Chain A
Amino acid sequence: MPPATLKVFRGQAAQGDFREYRVDVDEGMVVLDVIHRIQATQAPDLACRWNCKAGKCGSCSAEVNGKPRLMCMTRMDIFEPGETISVAPIRTFPLIRDLVTDVSYNYVKAREVPPLRLRPPDADGKYRMMQEDVDRPQEFHKCIECFLCQDVCHVIRDHEEHKPAFAGPRFFIKIAGLDMHPLDTLNRTEFVRRQAGIGLCNITKCCTEVCPEHIHITDNGIIPMKERMADDFDPIVWLLRKFRGGRPEPA
């Protein structure tokens, strides 16, 4: 393959700019490989995060040509030959340096979500769950916490002021996963409405579009949750739904 030209964001919060690098590219390379090659040969202090190099850990999130993506799953051969490729840090979170941002917002939100409250086991001390009942929450457990959905969500992308009272799509599906968990007994409706701020979401679906795990964040997570909000304020209805096991189908 011909050498590629990359414009990579370099610098810290106060000052920073794109810098151009020309790099040799081999067959099959992904953007993360090219960043590593730049580190090894041209800019040893170029900061980026990565771990698995296989789309499993969610560390290498960046905005490639303006689009939120995992660098390790973005192949170089999807770009036009000769095209200059821009690589920037995800924008919604404060910059630390180069491609690395401070994602601690997400760890704060994670801690706020009320955890699983376990129901008692069956008479023989075991927990039984049918595959049909775990299929739906399992979809949400696929989340690799790349935070690309958080990055792209307009509620917080350009609105610092919304951050304190908005959990973001990653945590909406975390909550949805807990609500659908066959062993859980906690009602999180009040939390979803107030602290998690689900009312601010207007279902633009941008989060679903960027999710590298192809989780149906809006259709299977947010929308059913919004729909249930009304019912769930009635604790009797909530209890009945939870323990009959029957759950309304997603829209």
Chain B
Amino acid sequence: MAKPEYETHEHDVIVIGAGGAGLRAAIEAAAQGVSVGLICKSLLGKAHTVMAEGGIAAAMGNVWPEDNWQVHFRDTMRGGKMLNNWRMAQLHAQEAPDRVLELERFGALFDRTKDGLISQRDFGGHRYARLAHVGDRTGLEMIRTLQYHAIHQGIDVYMECKVERLLKDGDRVAGAFGYWRNTGQFVMFKAKAVVLATGGIGKAWKITSNSWEYTGDGHATALWAGADLIDMEFVQFHPTGMVWPPSVRGILVTESVRGDGGTLKNNQGERFMFNYIPEFFKGETADNIEEAERWYADKKNNRRTPDLLPRDEVARAINSEVKAGRGSPHGGVFLDICTRRPADYIRKRLPSMYHQFKELANVDITREPMEVGPTCHYVMGGVRVDADSTQATVAGLFAAGEVAGGMHGSNRLGGNSLSDLLVFGRRAGLHAALYAKNLGGTVTIDRAEVESVARAALEPFSRSGGENPYAIQAELQETMHTLVGIIRTEAEMRQALAKIETLKERARKVRVEGGRVYNPGWHIALDLQSLLTVAECTTLAALERKESRGGHTRDDHPYTDDTWGKVNVVLRLRDGRVQVSREPLPEMPAELRALFQERK
């Protein structure tokens, strides 16, 4: 076979991913005066970040002056059931307000308070109304603002370009290799530092709010390049996805519906969340309807409605209601805002939810309740990073946003992702640029390795027989959904692992039809590699953790166990196998620990 051809680009820093994290990283790196390349699988502006609805969590205190970073830090840690990397959670809570104000200076137009400041809304697990927002299209505002800021900073953008592998020069990262989706031609990027900002892994599950892009490429390429992954067992099922009609199953219904006054009900009309308040949150959750109702206006003297418990709690509650036969006609529960808020208010605060239900489900949410159920939404686990610099355990590799692990512990609070993207995106760009400047010299790349990746990528074209990649993807999604879903058991996860092995075998024999120009069958075939890798990682980590916590619930180990609260499950690739180990969490300093004793 002839040597595969490819073009080469060289930068000090390349950023893989152009969602909120990648864009913010690229902007910061460019500001340091280094040359920056920004690579994304879709067109610029179409990353997942564009879909985010509810808002950006930041303790600005515009609505509740009592709010401050300590309260936000505490909420975040408690939401993550104390498994978060405390330093990340601290930096996040401290820096988020500045990052939001900076977005405003880049041109974002948030909804306002009466005094002309940025308005903030209630969300699950947050003690005060804290989410800066624009109706229910906050992610759109964020990505557009960053995108239009970035295009004037001298950054080279490579759109519809997919990275297949990270490249190394000895022990450190030296670039990336991939292909243009438009032409199918290969491309190599040489770089002194690489920022991963590729988002999540939700496409491994059948019912998901995530798009085709979420095949875990960043997680998998980092693992293959020798980096550690942590917390991969923690996958967030958002409690409210659409359930009907079947074709829209999984599409997200923003938590803002509950933040703005909506409540969950079963088919008896009962507000069932009052029956599911866990011990851990009893101190801060209203146990009767009257108090819950008073809370919307008076947060000081009342406890929060259980409708706004952290997502893991609400998702499990819905799951139980449906199992007990108290679900809605199409296997969800009811989410009612129409009897609780005026139609005008709903249309003003939740315009895209109004539109989405009207157009896709023939439901007018100002008149009827929505039917909702859990949908795979976010992965807490990811590349293990140093909190301050975001550097992974491989030199020259940085990670920010959903692909990075640690920040959210075992469960992420709503709104804490968009703020995470800004805080750690900026840090990643900064530290990658500093690292690249320090490094000097040039990087060398092993051409033989590049060529073997290229050859392997082309093999599916020349196979006769072999399988349809779509079928393998669908089987994997089904497997993860039924065997490694919201509620897990050892036996089922062992079954899943065996199934993943056979799927890997079959994926090695996939065949694709057609040519290299914009061929989605081929793209899916290649994405299977990372998708299968992250599915295996999640299953392995979930088998290891023999307790229930946050986004990991074991039917065979239903309780939270303090000894497990002191360790992360760490995955790394050694000699071609994924090794699993338990490693102690970084220890929180006493002054931060004190924040958890003060009040219940």
Chain A interface (Cβ < 8 Å from any Cβ of B): 12, 26-30, 33, 39-41, 44-59, 73, 75, 96-98, 100, 102-103, 107, 110-111, 115-116, 118, 126-131, 134, 137-138, 141-145, 178, 181, 183-184
Task: Find chain B residues with CB under 8 A from A41 CB.
Answer: 470
Q: Apart from A44-B521, A131-B112, A181-B107, what are 13 other A-B pairs with CB-CB below 8 Å?
A: A39-B521, A40-B468, A45-B515, A45-B520, A46-B520, A51-B42, A51-B211, A52-B51, A57-B211, A59-B42, A97-B517, A102-B182, A128-B116
Chain B residue with minimal CB distance to A107? B44
* Min C-beta distance of B263 to chain A, whole Å: 23
B449 CB → nearest A CB, Å: 28
**Min CB distance, B486 to chain A, in Å?**
22
Contact of A33 (CB < 8 Å), options: B182, B247, B512, B522:
B247
Of the stretches B134-142, B216-224, B270-278, B436-444, the one at the interface is: B134-142
Q: Mark B517-551, 1 if CB is under 8 A from A, else 0.
A: 11111101000000000000000000000000000
Taking a contact as CB atoms under 8 Å apart, the answer to whether A141 and B144 are in contact is yes
A48, B468: Cα distance in complex, Å? 18
Given contacts A44-B512, A134-B112, contact A56 B137 (CB under 8 A): yes
The 4 closest A-B pairs by CB, nearest first: A28-B245, A45-B514, A44-B521, A128-B116
Q: How far is the CA of A127 from the CA of B110 in the complex (A)?
A: 12
B352 CB contacts on chain A under 8 angstroms: 55-56
Distance of A143 Cα from B109 Cα, bound (Å): 13
Is the Cβ of B517 less than 8 Å from the Cβ of A28? Answer: no
Q: Which B residue's beta carbon lies closest to that of A30?
A: B247
- Min CB gap A157→B, angstroms: 21
Chain A residues whose C-beta falls within 8 Å of the C-beta of B50 in the assembled complex: 51-52, 56-57, 144
Chain A contact surface mostly? loop
Most buried by A among B470, B513, B518: B518
B244 contacts A by Cβ under 8 Å: yes
Q: For A26, what are the chain B residues with a Cβ–Cβ distance below 8 Å?
A: 245-247
CB < 8 Å: which of B44, B134, B151, B251 contacts A141? B134
Cβ of B361 within 8 Å of any chain A Cβ, yes or no, is: yes
- The answer to whether A116 and B106 touch (CB under 8 A), given A52-B211, A54-B251, A111-B151, is yes
| Residue pair A96, B517 in contact (C-beta under 8 Å) | yes
A49–B211 Cα distance when bound, in Å, is 11
| B470 and A44 contact, CB distance less than 8 A | yes
Contact indicator A45/B46 (Cβ below 8 Å): no
Chain A residue at minimum C-beta to C-beta distance from B352: A56
Q: Which of B42, B44, B112 contacts A130 (CB 8 A)?
A: B112
- Identity of the chain A residue whose Cβ is nearest the Cβ of B110 in the assembled complex: A134
Q: Is the CB of A73 within 8 A of B359?
A: yes
Our pick among B104, B182, B468, B521 for the contact of A127 (Cβ within 8 Å) is B104
Q: Are A51 and B213 in contact (CB under 8 A)?
A: yes
The answer for the CA separation of A184 and B107 in the assembled complex, in Å, is 8
Distance, CA A51 to CA B361, complexed state (A): 19
A95 nearest CB across to chain B (Å): 10
Q: Which residues of B contact A49 (CB under 8 A)?
A: 42-43
Indicate if the CB atoms of B518 and A142 lie closer than 8 Å: no
Supposing A12-B517, A100-B518, A126-B117 touch, asked if A51 and B151 sit within 8 A by C-beta, the answer is no
**B360 close to A (CB within 8 Å):** yes
- Which residues of chain B have C-beta atoms less than 8 A from A54's C-beta? 51, 248, 251-252, 356, 360
Q: How far is the CA of A116 from the CA of B117 in the complex (A)?
A: 19
A117 to B: closest C-beta gap in Å: 10
* Interface: B381 (CB within 8 A): no
Bound-state Cα–Cα, A91 to B84, Å? 50
Q: Is B115 an interface residue (CB 8 A)?
A: yes
Distance in angstroms from B599 CB to nearest chain A CB is 30
Are B134 and A45 touching (Cβ within 8 A)? no
Whether B45 sits at the interface, judged by CB under 8 Å, is yes
Q: Is the CB of A53 within 8 A of B518?
A: no
Closest residue of chain A to B213, judged by CB?
A: A51
CB closest chain-A residue, reference B355? A55
Q: Are A129 and B520 in contact (CB under 8 A)?
A: no
Residues of B38-76 at the interface with A, using a CB-CB cut-off of 8 Å, are: 42-48, 50-51
List B residues 138-152 near A (Cβ within 8 Å). Answer: 140-141, 144, 148-149, 151-152
Residues of B within 8 A of A51 (CB): 42, 46-48, 50-51, 211-213
Q: Which residues of A contact B245 (CB under 8 A)?
A: 26-29
Name the B residues within 8 Å of A57 (CB-CB).
45-46, 50-51, 211
Nearest CB in chain B to that of A102: its residue:
B182
Inter-subunit contact A129/B109 (CB<8 Å): yes
Closest chain A residue to B514, Cβ basis: A45
Most chain B C-beta atoms within 10 Å of own C-beta, residue among A28, A49, A51, A181: A51
* Cα distance A152–B393 in the bound complex, in angstroms: 50
Say yes or no for B343: interface residue by CB 8 A criterion.
Answer: no
Q: Is the CB of A96 within 8 A of B247?
A: no
Q: A103 to B43, Cβ gap below 8 A?
A: yes
Bound-state Cα–Cα, A156 to B107, Å: 29
Beta-carbon contact of A28 and B116 below 8 Å: no
State A118–B112 Cα separation when bound (angstroms): 18
The 12 sampled A-B contact pairs (Cβ below 8 Å) are A29-B245, A40-B474, A44-B514, A49-B43, A51-B212, A51-B213, A53-B248, A54-B248, A100-B518, A115-B107, A130-B112, A143-B144
> Which single residue of chain A is at the shortest CB-CB distance from B245?
A28
Residues of chain A contacted by B260 (CB below 8 angstroms): none
Best-surrounded residue of B151, B246, B469, B520 (most CB of chain A within 10 A): B520
**What residues of chain B lie closer than 8 Å to A111, measured between beta carbons?**
151-152
Question: In angstroms, how far is the closest chain B Cβ from the Cβ of A88?
Answer: 16
Q: Are A75 and B519 closer than 8 Å at their CB atoms? A: no
| B213 A115 Cβ-Cβ under 8 A | no
* A45 and B141 contacting across the interface, CB-CB below 8 Å: no
Neighbouring B residues of A97 by C-beta, 8 Å: 517-518
Q: In the bound complex, how far is the Cα of B47 from the Cα of A144, in angstroms?
A: 12
B577 lies within 8 A of chain A by Cβ: no
Are B359 and A28 within 8 A (Cβ)? Answer: no
Q: Within residues 292 to 339 of chain B, which ones have a CB less than 8 A from any CB in chain A?
A: none
B105 within 8 A of A: yes
Query: A39-B470, A54-B360, A110-B148 known; A45 and B522 CB under 8 Å?
Result: yes
Partner of A30, one of B101, B109, B140, B360: B360
Known contacts A45-B522, A59-B42; is-contact A118 B105 (Cβ 8 Å): yes
A115 near B152 with CB under 8 A, answer yes
Q: Taking A44-B514, A96-B517 as contacts, is the C-beta distance between A142 and B140 under 8 angstroms?
A: yes
A44:B134 contact, CB within 8 angstroms = no
- Mark contacts of B122-165 with chain A using CB atoms, 8 A cut-off: 1 yes-contact digit, 0 otherwise: 00000000000010010011001000110110000001000000
Min Cβ gap B201→A in Å is 16
B111 at interface (Cβ–Cβ under 8 A)?
yes
Complex contact B520–A48 (CB within 8 A): yes
Give the residues in chain A near B360, CB-CB below 8 Å.
28, 30, 54, 73, 75
Q: Find chain B residues with CB under 8 A from A102 CB.
A: 182
Cα–Cα distance between A178 and B152 once the two chains are bound (Å): 15
Return chain A residues, CB-CB under 8 Å to B251: 53-54
Q: Within the assembled complex, what's the spacing in Å between the Cα atoms of A33 and B251?
A: 13
Question: Cα distance A212–B109 when bound, in Å?
Answer: 21
Candidate in B43, B247, B522 with the most chain A CB atoms within 10 angstroms: B247
Q: Do B43 and A59 have beta carbons less than 8 Å apart?
A: yes
B45: A residues at CB distance < 8 A: 57-58, 145
Tell me which of B42, B211, B246, B520 contacts A27 (CB under 8 A). Answer: B246
